Structures are given as structure tokens and as C-alpha cells.
Amino acid sequence: MLRIAIQKSGRLSEESLNLIRECGISFIGSSLKLKTECTNFPLEILFLRDDDIPGYVADGVADIGIVGQNVLVEEGKEELTVEALGFSKCRLSLAVPKSDEYSSIQDLNGKNIATSYPNLLQAFLDKQGVQAQIHTISGSVEIAPSIGLAEAICDIVSSGSTLISNGLKEVERVFKSEAVLIANQELTQEKRQVLEKLLFRIHAVQRARKAKYILLNSPDDKIEEISKLLPSIKAPTVLPLAEEGWSSLHSVVNEDDFWEIIEKIKAAGAQGILVVPIEKMII
């Protein structure tokens, strides 16, 4: 049985559980409990505070875990990384009061900066050759300038609205983060095999999230031209329609290229274009 640590309650929790579910793994119970066993896969879920996850995985209390890179690197445990998972994207940024004049990072020399990420911030300041006093606080960092605790802050930003509503402006990006899968470095052979199985499923889910299945009708004399515009795993599927002179083309397109491809195939004569989500994708 492989033990996975995920955040009990917070911004990583739901997407972490969704990923497990999308891998076809079922479990009863919720994060109200400390742990739960999966019913159809040798996996046990531990629900923890995100800050504790790297330590528990490093010590082998949990075998694997899902945590933000910001927390992992702050705790000096990036060597546990298996791979990035593509969700909970955010950045650690420096911000100053909106009314402050700011021209470069050198303006922070001699200033007080409040943060919950002293190690990441110190490394960034060292690299930039800036000397500042770091005040480590555990929460509500954004209010530090207004209560006179610091002249600047270094905090996690995603939409930027927290900064704006506290009269602050983002001036430097210190670190880019997303959720990552981490693993203990001394897993037994058996546990490693379960992890491989889980990764196989995660990859199928991730590929499917980015891909769309596309179906369209094409005049037979346009099949070649349209096929060239369609990316596919091997080659598009071509099936005859009941109406003579027409065929149906099926393929897989990447979400990022999607609109551009649609425009081109439409211009080339495609009709009745349908785009449907893919649940799993194994290649």
C-alpha cells in the first residue's frame, strides 16, 4: 500500500482529490478524517497541512505527496520532486504600496520586507545583490505595510486582487510555482511499482485534459488538404458518410492550437465540426 499525503483543507485539496478520482481511484470518507484507504487501488490518503507534507514524505511517514513548489523549495526539499502537475499555479512576488515610486530592485536596499517565505526571498535578494531585513510572519502578509511592520511584502499572488485591495503593486516576481508530486527517495521496489502505475494513470489524465477529440465532415476531394491541417496520434480516421462524396474525419487536437486549427479547416471546406472532451488518453 502506497501512502499519499495531500492537503487537508486549502487551495490544493480539491484538485489533488480530483486528480486521484480521475485516475479511476475510489475512496470513501473525506478530509474530515486523518486518513482513508482507497477501495480499488493500493493507495492510502493522509490529509495534512501543506507545510508538513515535504517533511513527512522526506521522513517516510508518507511515501508520496502533492504540495506547492513554493512550500517544497522554501523547506529545501526540492530533491523530492517527481513531476509538476499543472494546477495551483501561482507566483511569489514582491509588492510595495501603490503610491511608492519604484524603479528597480535596488530600491529595496535597507528596507523591511514581510514574508512567509524567508528562504526563497533571501536567495532572490542575494542573487540580485540587495540587502534588506526580512520579517518572517505566518499569515496576512499583505497588511504588513499598512500597519507599519514593513515597507514591502513578498507573498503568493495568483489573480493579483489581494494586492490591489490592500493598496499594493507587484514589482518583482521571485518564484513561479505549481503543484508537484513528490516522493520519498528510498521507496521499496513494491512501492515504486505502485507509484509507476499511478504515474501511468496521471499521464493519461493529463494528456486527456489538454486534448480534444474532433469530428468533422469533409467533401472527399478535400480530405487530403484537411488531414494535413489536423494533428493526430497517428493519422486521422476517415469514414464514409451515407451521402456520397462526403466523409467524416476524426482526430485529436491540442487545446492550445484548437482555435487556429478550426479556422483553417473551416476555410478548407470542413463542415459540421464537433469537438468533444477526452476522458483518458493512452499513447
Q: Please name the residue that has the C-alpha cell 486523518.
A: 34
Residue span 16-55 as binding mask against ligand PRT, x where in contact by CB under 6 A, dash where not: ---------------------------------xxx----
Residues 59-88, mask of contacts with ligand PRT (x by CB under 6 A):
---------x-xx----------------x
- Across-strand partners of 214? 251, 275
Which partner, ligand PRT, Zn ion, none, binds residue 155 by CB below 5 to 8 Å per kind? ligand PRT
- All cell numbers assigned to 101: 515610486
- Of 42, 97, 160, 231, which one interacts with ligand PRT (CB under 6 A)? 160
Q: Which is nearer to Zn ion, 14 or 51 (CB)?
A: 51
Nearer to ligand PRT (CB atom), residue 20 or residue 211: 20
One of 112, 119, 122, 162 touching ligand PRT (CB under 6 A): 162
Among 30, 39, 158, 271, binds ligand PRT (CB under 6 A): 158
Binding window for ligand PRT (CB under 6 A); candidates: 100-108, 160-168, 191-199, 256-264 = 160-168
**255, 211 in Cβ contact below 8 A?**
yes
Beta strands in 78-178 (DSSP E): 81-84, 90-97, 112-115, 133-136, 152-157, 168-177
Cβ 56 vs Cβ 65: under 8 Å: yes
- Compute the distance between CA of residue 24 and CA of residue 135 in angstroms, rounded to an integer: 45
Sign, CA torsion 49/53/55/59: positive
* 11/77 with CB nearer ligand PRT: 11
Amino acid at 148: G
149: left (phi over 0), alpha (psi -120 to 50) or beta: alpha
Nearer to ligand PRT, 10 or 42 (CB): 10
* Closer Cβ to Zn ion, 50 or 155, answer by number: 50
Residues 99, 102, 105, 107, CA torsion sign: negative
> Helix (H, G, I), strand (E, B), or coil: what is residue 247?
strand
- Calculate the dihedral angle through the C-alpha atoms of 218, 223, 229, 233, rounding to the nearest 10 degrees: 100
Angle at 81 between CA 153 and CA 160, to 5 degrees: 30
Residue 192 found at the interface with ligand PRT (CB under 6 A): no
Least gap, CB of 159 to ligand PRT (angstroms): 3
Shortest approach of ligand PRT to residue 165 CB, angstroms?
8
Cβ-Cβ contacts under 8 Å for 142 (sequence gap 6 or more): 95, 153, 155, 162, 163, 166, 168
Of Zn ion, ligand PRT, none, which one sits near residue 122, judging by CB under 5 to 8 A according to partner kind? none
Residue 144 · residue 150 · CB < 8 Å: yes
- Contact positions toward Zn ion, by CB under 5 A? 50-51
Among ligand PRT, Zn ion, none, residue 180 binds (CB under 5-8 Å by kind): none
Minimum Å distance from CB 169 to ligand PRT?
12
Interface ranges with ligand PRT (CB under 6 A): 7, 10-12, 49-51, 68, 70-71, 88, 90, 155-162, 177
